[in-house]
Amino acid sequence: METMLKVVVQPRPGSERDKERRRKKKNARELTSSSSSRYPSMPSYPASPSRGEIDVSEIRTARFQVTGMECAACAGSIEKAVKRLPGIEEATVAVLQNRAQVVYRPAFVQEESIREAIDDAGFEAVIIPDDARQPSRIITRFRIKGMTCTSCSNSIESALSKLPGVQMAVVALATEECEVRHDPGTITRAQLAITIDDLGYEAELLSVDEESTGEEFNRVRLQLESVTDSADFQVVEEILSGLSGVASFDVDRTSAMATVSYDPEKTGPRTFIESIEQSGAFKAKLEAPTGQGSHDRSLEIQHHKNYFLWSLVFTIPVFLLSMVFMYIPGMMEGLEMGRINNLSIGALLRWILSTPVQFIIGKRFYSGAYKALRRGSANMDVLIAMGTNAAYFYSVYTVFRAATSSEFKGTDFFETSAMLISFIILGKYLEVTAKGKTSEAIAKLMDLAPDTANLLSVDEDGNVTNEREIASELIQRRDIIKVVPGSKVPTDGVVVWGQSFVNESMITGEARPVPKKLGDKVIGGTMNDNGVLHIQATHVGAETALAQIVRLVEAAQMGKAPVQKYADRISTYFVPIVVVVSFIVWLAWFVSGKARSYPKSWIPASMDEFELALQFGISVLVIACPCALGLATPTAIMVATGKGATQGILIKGGQALEAAHKVKTVIFDKTGTLTIGKPIVVDTKLFKDVRRQEFYNTIAAAEVNSEHPLAKAVVEYSKRITGELSSHGSEKHEVSDFEAIPGQGIRAVVDGKATLVGNMRLMKESQIEISEEVQEHLHETETLARTGVMVAINSEVVGVISIADPVKPEAAKVISILKSMGIRSMMVTGDNWGTATAIARELGIDRPSIHAESLPEDKARIVKEIQATGTTVAMVGDGINDSPALVAADVGMAIGAGTDIAIEAADIVLMKSNLDDVITGIDLSRKTFRRIQLNYVWALGYNVLGIPIAAGALFPSTGFRLPPWVAGAAMAASSVSVVCSSLWLKRYKRPRVVEEIRRSEQQ
C-alpha cells in the first residue's frame, strides 16, 4: 500500500503582529513592481545550459509546508507568484492542508527560489524533505503490449534494471505484465513507462503498491465528478480532513482523483463517498481497475482475429492465382493474356493483391523489427520481416525485369510473403486464444465475489432497523451483512446470527458443505446453501482471503522458474545465429548451383539457382523463431498455479513449483500439523497440598496472555471447572511480569507468587528441583503420547498437567504414501522426547528422524544440516516458531489454519489444513515439471528437426523441400502446441491415494 504523507495542519496566525508583517511585505512588493512596470513581467528563461552539464528535460516535484493562508484567494496568489518563475510546469496549492506542490525543471529554477517566491507573496514556506514525501520503495506493475518472444521480455528487463533507483524488474511474457520495484524519489513510474515506450512497446499502468511497512493503514483512490474549480476541490479537501480515521489524503486536481490513506478500524471508502455526495453538488466513486480482466484479453483476441480475416481476403486470391488457376486449362491462357513483354496479367494481379498484406496487415512486423534493431536486439519480427521482404522484393524485381525485357524468365514469390504473413497471424490468434485460457483460474476466482451485498443497520439492542443494497467493495469492517440462501458471502466475517451450511469448495477445494453457527468464520466468495446468516465483516477489500489468493496467484504467475533462465539465455543468441545460418544456407545452395555441384534437374522448371536458394534461406528464417521456447515454462506455471488455487493449494511462484518436484525429505512440525492442533487436558497430578480449583485459577491467570496452543487448552479447561476467568483475563487475580519463553513455557507473578508453567528445560534453567516422583509421572505421561506441563509456584513443582493432542486421521497414511514416493518424513517439535517418540511410533516415523525439544532456531538449523547433504527439503508447519524453518527450507509449506506469519513465510499454503495436500502439492509440481520438459521437446523439436528440413537436407535424396509458407505454418504451430500442452494441466486431478483418504474420512 502506498504510504501517504500525513500533513499536520498549522493553525492560522491570528495575532495583529503577523497580519502587520504580511501587510508590509505586500506593500513592499507593490512598491517595487510599480516602480519598474505596471504589469508583472513574463518569466524570462536563461540560456539553456549544455546537455553535458544539466539535463534540460529533467522534471522534478517539490512540496512545501505553507502557513498563513486563510482562503482560496491566498492559494491563488501563491500559484501566480510561483508560476512567474522560469521552469515551472505546474503549481497546486491546498489551503486546508497548508501545502503546495510544484512541478519544475531544475535546469532553470531551484527549490529554494520557489520557497522564496512563496515567502515574498506574504506567506511562510518550508521545503518538505524527500524522505517525507513518498515511500522509499514501491512496486509498479505495467501491462506491456507488443512483445513477441523472450528476447523482447529480456531486453525490457535489461533496460529497466539499468535505470537508477530500480532494484528489480521482472517481465512475464505469458501474462504480458511487468513488475518493477523502485525508489520513487529517484525514478517515477512515468519515467519507467517512457523507457518501455522508447524500447518500442506500449506500457499501460496496472497498479502501484508500496512495500509493506507494517502500518495499519489502507489506501483507496476516488474518482471525483462535478469537481471543477479550486473552490470545489477545497470543499472536498475540507470534507475529507474532517472525517475520523483519515490519516492523510492527496487530491490531484488535474485528474480529479483523491487518494485517501485511512485506518480501516475507524472508517472506509463508503464513508468517504457518502460524505462527499452529502454535499449535494459532487459525486465520487471508487477508481475503476485498469487493464485487468478478461475484457482486455477478449479485445486482443478479436484484434488478431480481424487481422487474420482481412489477410484471407487478399491471400486466398493470391493462392488461387499461383497454385490453382495456373494449372486449369482456359484460366491459365487467360492469365497469360495481355503481356507487357514477359509480364503476365497473373503476376500483376498477385503483386497488387499481396501488397496490402505485406505493408498494411504486416505493418506490425516492420514496426516490431525496427524497434528491436534500434535497441540492438533481434526478435521474431526481425525474422519474419527479413523472410517476407526477401520474397516480396525479389518478386517485385522479377515483375520489373519481366516488364522491361522480352527475354527474362523468372518466378515471383508473392504467394510466399502473403501466405507466410497470414499463417503467422493465424498462429498468433490461436496462441492468444490459448493463452487466455491459461489465466482462466484468476478470472474465475475474481468472479467469485458478488457485486452487491445487503447491509443491515442494527440498533443497540441488536434489532435490525434498516436494510439496503450496496456494492460489495464498499463494505467496511464491522458492517453487518445479511446473506440469504443461495447467495454468495460478499466478504470475510464472523456469524453473529443464524445457522446454515456453506459450500467452501470454490476457495478450499473441499466439496463437503461446512456447518456455520454463531461465532464461526465465513470466507468471502463461498456459497450459502440454506438458512439466513447475519455476518459481521472482519476483513474487507484487499484484506479478504479471496483477494489474497488472487494476489498470490498473480505474483506466482509473474515469477520465473529457474529452468526458464536457460530458455531466456538461448533466446538471446538464437535469432542472430538463425540469421547467419539462413544466409549460409542461401549462399551454399546458390554457389553450389552456379558451380553445377548438383544436377540441373534438381532445379524446378519455373526457377533458377538463385530462386531455389532464396526459398531455402527464407524457410530457415521463419521456421526457427524461438517463440515457443519462451512460452514453454510460463504457460505451464500459469495453469499449474491456477489449478492449485482451485484445489486449495496456493503456490507462490515458479521457483517453489520447480523445487517441490525435487523434494526428498519432508520435515513436519507436530502440534497443529501432524496433530489436530487443539490439545485438551486429560489428567492432572498434584504433588503438594493445594486445592485443585486454586491450582487451576493460578495457572489460568498466568497462561491467559499466552498464544501457545497448550496454554489455550489449560485456560479452556480452567474455565470449564472454575467458571472464573473471562476470555480476556482474570478479574480476581493480579498478574504481573508476564514473559513467554519460546520453546519452554511462561513465567509470571500471580497474586505475588512466582509462577512457572512449562517443560523440563524451563524448570532446569530456572533451577527448580525435580523430584523422582515427578520424573516418573512425566515418563508415564510421555509413553501415552501426552505432553506433561509442569507447574512450579514459589520455586516448587506443585503439579503436572497431562495434555493430549490427537493425531490427524490422515497423518499416518500421508507418511506412508510419501515413503512410497521415495520421500523421507521427519518430525521436529518443541515438545518433549517421550511424547514425540510415542507420536512418531504411531505415525511410522523412525527414531533417527525425530527431533524433540527444538527451539525455533533449532528447527532452521536442522533444515540447513539436511540441505548440506545435497537433499532438497520441504518444511510443513503452522506456527510462528516454524517461520525460520519455513524460510530456510527449499519449499516451505504452511497449514492454512496456522498463523499469518507462517503463511507469509511459506512458499506453498495448504488452505484446507489437510496433510494429504502435501502429497497433492508435490505431485502437482512433478507433473508440471514433466509438462515443462515436454514443452521444451515441442519447442526445440520444431527447430531441431525443422531447420535441417527447411535448409534442404531431404531435397537431394527425396526431392522434398519446405516452402516458406509451410515453414511459417510450422513455426506458428510450435507456439500453439506448447500452449495447448500446458493447457493439458487443467485436467489435473489429485492422486488416487489422496482421493481414497478423503473418502475414508467422510465415511
CA distances for 489 relative to 322, 443, 521, angstroms = 63, 18, 11
- Are 775 and 812 spatial neighbours (Cβ–Cβ below 8 Å)? no
Which phi and psi (to 5°) does residue 478 adopt?
A: 75, 5
Is pLDDT at 995 greater than 60 in this prediction?
yes
Catalytic residue annotation:
669
For residue 857, name the pLDDT band (cuts at 50, 70, 90): confident
CA trace torsion 916, 919, 924, 929 (10° rounding):
170
Mean pLDDT throughout 298-312?
85
Residue in 64, 68, 86 with CA at minimum distance from that of residue 25: 68
Hunting for cell 504589469 — which residue is that? 39
Mean pLDDT throughout 9-25?
40
871 SS3 class? coil
User: What is the structure's pLDDT at 987?
Assistant: 86
Mean pLDDT throughout 939-966?
82
- Chain centroid, CA 444 distance in Å: 16
For residue 676, name the pLDDT band (cuts at 50, 70, 90): confident
Distance CA 580, CA 611 (A): 19
The segment with the largest mean pLDDT, out of 234-248, 521-535, 636-650, 689-703, is 521-535
User: What is the structure's pLDDT at 341?
Assistant: 76
For residue 41, name the pLDDT band (cuts at 50, 70, 90): very low
* Residue 147 grid coordinates: 512483445
Which distant-in-sequence residues (6+ apart) come within 8 Å of 921 by Cβ?
Answer: 644, 649, 651, 660, 893, 908, 910
Sign of CA dihedral 404, 406, 409, 415: positive
Strand partners, 64: 100, 127
Mean pLDDT throughout 57-72?
75
Q: Annotate 327-388 with DSSP letters as a single string.
A: GSTTHHHHHHSS-BTTB-HHHHHHHHHHHHIIIIITHHHHHHHHHHHHTT---HHHHHHHHH
Cα first-last separation, the chain: 46
Distance CA 11, CA 360 (A): 65
Which phi and psi (to 5°) does residue 532 adopt?
A: -85, 135
Residue in 391, 396, 290 with CA at minimum distance from that of residue 343: 396
User: What is the structure's pLDDT at 815?
Assistant: 92
Mean pLDDT throughout 456-477?
85
Mean pLDDT throughout 370-391?
76
User: What is the structure's pLDDT at 64?
Assistant: 85
For residue 190, name the pLDDT band (cuts at 50, 70, 90): confident
Is pLDDT at 173 greater than 80 in this prediction?
no
CA distances for 383 relative to 389, 431, 577, 627, angstroms = 10, 18, 11, 11
Q: What is the mean pLDDT of the chain?
A: 78
- Are 640 and 928 spatial neighbours (Cβ–Cβ below 8 Å)? yes
User: What is the structure's pLDDT at 181?
Assistant: 86
Sign of CA dihedral 383, 387, 393, 394: positive
Mean pLDDT throughout 484-499?
90
For residue 826, name the pLDDT band (cuts at 50, 70, 90): very high
Which carries the bigger pLDDT value, residue 983 or residue 677? 983
Which carries the bigger pLDDT value, residue 411 or residue 752? 752
Is pLDDT at 769 greater than 80 in this prediction?
yes
pLDDT (tens digit per residue) in 231-250: 888 888 888 888 888 887 88
CA distances for 1000 relative to 810, 995, 1003, angstroms = 9, 9, 5
Is pLDDT at 922 greater than 50 in this prediction?
yes
71 SS3 class? coil
User: What is the structure's pLDDT at 729?
Assistant: 43
What is the identity of the amino acid at 428?
A: K
Helix axes 609-623, 564-594, angle to 10 degrees: 180
pLDDT (tens digit per residue) in 129-152: 654 344 456 788 888 887 877 778
| Cα Dmax for the chain | 125
Which carries the bigger pLDDT value, residue 840 or residue 391? 840
Indicate the DSSP class of residue 807: B
Indicate the DSSP class of residue 325: G
Helix (H), strand (E) at residue 739: strand 735-741
Distance CA 555, CA 179 (A): 9
Mean pLDDT throughout 875-896?
82
Mean pLDDT throughout 27-43?
35
Distance CA 789, CA 801 (A): 5
Distance CA 855, CA 884 (A): 10
- Are 371 and 197 spatial neighbours (Cβ–Cβ below 8 Å)? no
CA distances for 906 relative to 644, 901, 902, angstroms = 15, 9, 6
- Chain centroid, CA 558 distance in Å: 6
Is pLDDT at 386 greater than 90 in this prediction?
no
Is pLDDT at 215 greater than 50 in this prediction?
no
Query: Which stretches within 559-671 are classed as H helix?
Result: 564-594, 609-623, 627-646, 654-660
User: What is the structure's pLDDT at 314?
Assistant: 92
Radius of gyration of the chain (CA): 36
Is pLDDT at 483 greater than 90 in this prediction?
yes
